[in-house]
Amino acid sequence: MALRVNSESFESEVLKAEGVVIADFYSDSCVPCKRLSPVLSEVEQELGDKAKLVKININFDAELAEKFDVMSVPTLIFFRNGEEISRLGGTVKKSEIISEIEKL
């Protein structure tokens, strides 16, 4: 299950994490975010320990959304060893997420 992170835990859970971390910036009121959630669960199960999934609710952690220039939700930001490598926006397919991780 994806780990809910906030501005206090973001650094330790994402920026200091080894390997690939997918940060899902979402909102509870966002319909595309709700559609993406089960897709992310499938991705998480399929990848096992190849990548870590974290969720950031922009309503509670707007400063993180600002810091990473998240203009719309859902936005997935891919980090590797604390560095932003790429991002996907909108409702994306499972295959797109897997493909992005394989590139990393």
CA 42 to chain centre: 14
CB contact set of 86 (below 8 Å; sequence gap of 6+): 77, 78, 100, 103, 104
- Can you list the alpha helix ranges (DSSP code H) found in 1-104? 10, 31-47, 62-67, 94-103
Catalytic residues: 30, 33
- Contact between residue 104 and residue 85 where contact means Cβ atoms under 8 Å apart: yes
